[in-house]
Structure 1
Amino acid sequence: MRSLPLILVLFISFNCFSKTIFESGTQKTQLLQLFTSEGCSSCPLADKWLSTQKSNPELFKSFIPMAFHVDYWDRLGWKDTYSQSKFTDRQRLLKSQGLIKSVYTPGIIFEDKEFRQWFKGNGTITTTNQAAKKLMATIENDVLIVNYDSDQTDLVVNIAYLKMNEVVDINRGENSGKQLKHDFVVLEMMQVRYKKNTPIILDFLTEGKNKDTALSIWITKDNRLENLQAVGGYL
């Protein structure tokens, strides 16, 4: 039997057993959530602004951006490539829990409240000194293990799988003829009850680990959307 070259064996071994660790400090990492749609003419500017956060030195340290593509624009000429009804449901739940006043696009949420200064031309992300428990996430192959420094029993782990550098040509709707570029696009999202050291299978990692994918992981209380602590980074 012919043996594999040593370099190929090392490459296979590295990819089979590679481990990624995200760990927070004792200050809160905030979520920056954009609710957007490819069918909304005012959304491309917000998408472009979110993409500029890739060069922010505080990215994945003090804040984690996510773009949720809603589906309520889909019936108006263009079906958003990334829209999901559960993202629309999330935005509506934010309203029902009093975190935002209305459901619209582009809708920007930072520190669990509406980020309205963006509409006034101020898109500066200000970091926080708010104290928070430590959170660590370990990803090995398709398995995630989360450890949160808390004894609370009513906690939920939220996981979002993000895609970078996406380009879509739009040929109908309000953005017809435009080429839209997206970053931090949420492809999949899941929620599981938090149990320390309990493996979580990430069966949606279809893109594998590469520089164009990232994970966002954050802790909430059961039936609430306020972020308690978050970690994330490129895969």
Structure 2
Amino acid sequence: MAPRLFSCFGRGGSSHHNAYRSHGFAESASATADQLTEEQNRGGAILVELFSSQGCKTSLEAELLLSRLGRGDFELDVPVIVLAFHVDYWDYMGWKDPYGSSLWTVRQKGYVEALNLDTMFTPQVVVQGRIQCVGTDEDALLSHIRSAARFPAPGLQATFQKPSEDSLQVSLTGPLRIKIDGQGVDIMVVLYENGLVNDCPKGENKGRVLTNDFVVRKYEKLCTVKDISAKKTISGTITFKLWEGFNSSKCGVAVFVQNSSFHTFGSQNFPLADNLL
């Protein structure tokens, strides 16, 4: 039986949940109508976030769908950046997700509040921080991506160094390519990993081999910016502590601009080089 305020689609019985749209939230970054220019309409990538768990049987189907999306299997006229946040609230069901984190659960809870939802559930997909659907609903997901608000990709340049065997230094510099007002935005940096494979000896997925891509391993705020022009250069450096078995060829770094209502205003993706030194 699912705990109150949490649900996992497909655990038994028919699902009564619907996808919800966000209403009534002002765009506190500069996303006013006069700025939605032709450039923005054909702008950068759409950020797609999956909230998932290896402890949820239905999440496996959503993970496969999002892996296909990230690989470019669907005919879309817009690029996407996919991130999978593995939550930890299904760990009690018998299998502790090795990539689950209470921090990712807190992030999902923020979306529940921002989108006026009545529950947390897996698998859930959020597109551009503005609209969500069940993570297995391919038609709804693709529709939301095609209709999502688009913004120019930030013009950030990234350099990567390993100051030690267990750390990765990410330095970013460049313009956001969108004017930011006095309410400000956060520049978020994510280190994700592809090609993860785990045997699952317990829980709802007992006996299955679990495969995951675009799994968020590290997540930090680079900085907060306010009252800057679209051409203003921002700079910053983050050092991530790495996990055992880190392989740069399986990893990438995503950067996105997000306001306090979790609305995304541009994102970039940086694959890491093989044998990063």
TM-score greater than 0.5 by the shorter chain: yes
Q: Offset at 1:193? A: 2.3
Of 198, 203, 208, which aligns to 2:235? 198
Listed one character per residue, the Cα deviations across residues 32-75 of structure 1 (whole Å, up to 9, x for unaligned) are 1111001111111111111112431789x622101000000011
Matched residue SS, 1:50: helix
Residue 189 of structure 1 pairs with residue 219 of structure 2: yes
Q: Which moved more, 1:205-214 or 1:225-234?
A: 205-214
Q: Offset at 1:108? A: 1.2
Matched residue SS, 2:105: helix
> Unmatched 5+ residue regions in structure 1?
1-24
Of 120, 125, 133, which aligns to 1:103? 120
Residue 155 of structure 2 is matched in structure 1 by 136
Residue 47 of structure 1 pairs with residue 63 of structure 2: yes
Contact preservation (8 Å) 1:28, 1:130 = no
Looking at structure 1, the residues matched to 150 and 55 of structure 2 have their Cα atoms a distance apart, in angstroms, of 39
Of 98, 102, 108, which aligns to 1:91? 108
Q: Offset at 1:174? A: 0.5
Q: Identify if the C-alpha distance between structure 1 residues 155 and 122 changes in structure 2 by more than 3 Å, giving closer, same or farther.
A: closer
Looking at structure 1, the residues matched to 54 and 126 of structure 2 have their Cα atoms a distance apart, in angstroms, of 19
> Unmatched 5+ residue regions in structure 2?
1-38, 162-168, 226-232, 273-277
When the two chains are superposed, the root-mean-square deviation of aligned CA atoms in Å is 2.7
Between the two proteins, what is the percent identity of the paired residues? 22
Looking at structure 1, the residues matched to 146 and 123 of structure 2 have their Cα atoms a distance apart, in angstroms, of 22
Q: Identify if the C-alpha distance between structure 1 residues 78 and 152 changes in structure 2 by more than 3 Å, giving closer, same or farther.
A: same
TM-score by length of 2: 0.67
Listed one character per residue, the Cα deviations across residues 106-142 of structure 1 (whole Å, up to 9, x for unaligned) are 1111232113484376653643584524512222122
TM-score by length of 1: 0.77
Contact preservation (8 Å) 2:52, 2:87 = yes
Matches within 5 A, 1:1-235: 26=40, 27-56=43-72, 62-98=79-115, 100-111=117-128, 112-116=130-134, 118-119=136-137, 124=142, 126-127=145-146, 130-140=149-159, 141=161, 142-146=169-173, 147-149=175-177, 150-153=179-182, 154-194=184-224, 196-204=233-241, 210-221=248-259, 223-235=260-272
Q: Identify if the C-alpha distance between structure 1 residues 63 and 121 changes in structure 2 by more than 3 Å, giving closer, same or farther.
A: closer
Contact preservation (8 Å) 1:160, 1:215 = yes
Matched residue SS, 1:159: strand
Looking at structure 2, the residues matched to 78 and 209 of structure 1 have their Cα atoms a distance apart, in angstroms, of 25
Q: Offset at 1:100? A: 4.6
